[in-house]
């Protein structure tokens, strides 16, 4: 499953580079996400670091298909050589049953959590003091009801423990207790948890968020459709 998911990850990164109006910016985004220095990537590609810099800044013409393939494979191989923490995070997302996932996106540039809260009309219930210090690199929107009905327990837990730089949005939530209980048992935590479609949050959910030091926010956007539209415009 993970070899298939890894190939999908490579295709996703390469496709994003090819389809972007600013491919250099996308290359830089993924290099940063994978925590790779220009010098380190250049050594693997047998290039000068200035070549990588030129591609990222747009000083050099957009790379061709062969170079992009080699670039993506090199970045993935560097991360895997270090233990594959970031690669495993993304392949876990791509390897689970996707019926309960409404949207998965990565931002070209990280955005402040406070900006994300404002965009989705969020009411902060937990941990406001830490919000201004946190950045979001991507998000996953989950239909809680479908996730419970279609995902295996392993799938659901892998999804919750994917990437510490992500925000998780749970829709069709009744009290917020189940998402926070599931997150509680994970070793890797999301940057923030957003709940949508509920009036009152269970006291246990709030207590768990405080214990885990995870910002807990309720989105007041009127519908799931508007929530997804707003997130995709960021």
- pLDDT, tens digit, for every residue of 35-58? 899 999 999 999 999 999 999 999
* pLDDT for res 92: 62
**Same domain? 168 vs 223:** yes
Distance of CA 195 to the CA centre of its chain: 17
Instruction: Identify the three-state secondary structure at position 109.
Output: strand
pLDDT at 2 over 50: no
Distance of CA 81 to the CA centre of its chain: 21
| Encoded tokens for 149 | 């009905």
- In the chain, % of residues over pLDDT 70: 83
- pLDDT, tens digit, for every residue of 26-35? 999 899 888 8
**Same domain? 84 vs 110:** no
> At which residue do the structure tokens 């809680």 appear?
144
**Same domain? 41 vs 120:** no
Mean pLDDT of 218-234: 92
Number of Cβ atoms within 10 Å of the Cβ of 221: 19
* pLDDT for res 37: 94
- CATH label of the domain that carries residue 128: 3.40.1390.20
Tell which of 56, 88, 120 closes a domain: 88
pLDDT at 146 over 90: no
* pLDDT for res 97: 56
What's the predicted TM-score (pTM) here? 0.63
Domain that holds residue 29: 2-88
- H or E stretch covering 88: helix 85-95
Instruction: Identify the three-state secondary structure at position 187.
Output: coil
C-alpha angle 111-221-109 in degrees, rounded to nearest 5:
15
DSSP 8-state assignment for residue 63: P
Q: Which of 45-59, 91-105, 139-153 has the lowest mean pLDDT?
A: 91-105
The count of structural domains within the chain is 2
Distance CA 157, CA 191 (A): 16
| Encoded tokens for 147 | 């996730």
**Same domain? 191 vs 128:** yes
**Same domain? 65 vs 116:** no
Instruction: Identify the three-state secondary structure at position 91.
Output: helix
pLDDT at 86 over 80: no
Q: How confident is the model at residue 87 (pLDDT cuts 50, 70, 90)?
A: confident
> At which residue do the structure tokens 């491919």 appear?
23
Q: How confident is the model at residue 183 (pLDDT cuts 50, 70, 90)?
A: confident
User: Average model confidence (pLDDT) for the chain?
Assistant: 84
**Same domain? 76 vs 144:** no
């Amino acid at each position: 499953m993970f070899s298939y998911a890894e190939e999908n990850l490579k295709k996703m990164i390469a496709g994003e580079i090819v389809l972007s109006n600013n491919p250099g910016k996308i290359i830089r985004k993924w290099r940063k996400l994978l925590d790779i220095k220009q010098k380190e990537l250049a050594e693997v590609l047998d290039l000068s670091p200035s070549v990588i810099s030129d591609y990222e800044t747009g000083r050099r013409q957009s790379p061709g298909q062969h170079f992009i393939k080699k670039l993506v494979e090199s970045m993935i191989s560097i991360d895997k050589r270090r233990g594959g923490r970031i690669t495993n995070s993304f392949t876990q997302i791509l390897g689970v049953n996707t019926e309960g996932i409404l949207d998965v996106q990565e931002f070209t540039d990280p955005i402040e959590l406070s900006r994300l809260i404002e965009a989705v009309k969020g009411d902060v219930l937990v941990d406001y003091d830490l919000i201004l210090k946190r950045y979001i690199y991507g998000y996953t929107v989950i239909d809680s009801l479908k996730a419970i009905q279609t995902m295996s327990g392993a799938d659901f837990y892998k999804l919750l423990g994917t990437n510490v730089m992500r925000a998780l949005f749970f829709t069709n939530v009744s009290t917020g207790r189940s998402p926070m209980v599931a997150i509680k048992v994970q070793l890797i935590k999301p940057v923030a948890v957003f709940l949508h479609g509920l009036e009152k949050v269970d006291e246990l959910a709030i207590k768990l968020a405080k214990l885990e030091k995870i910002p807990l926010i309720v989105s007041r956007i009127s519908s799931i459709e508007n929530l997804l539209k707003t997130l995709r415009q960021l």
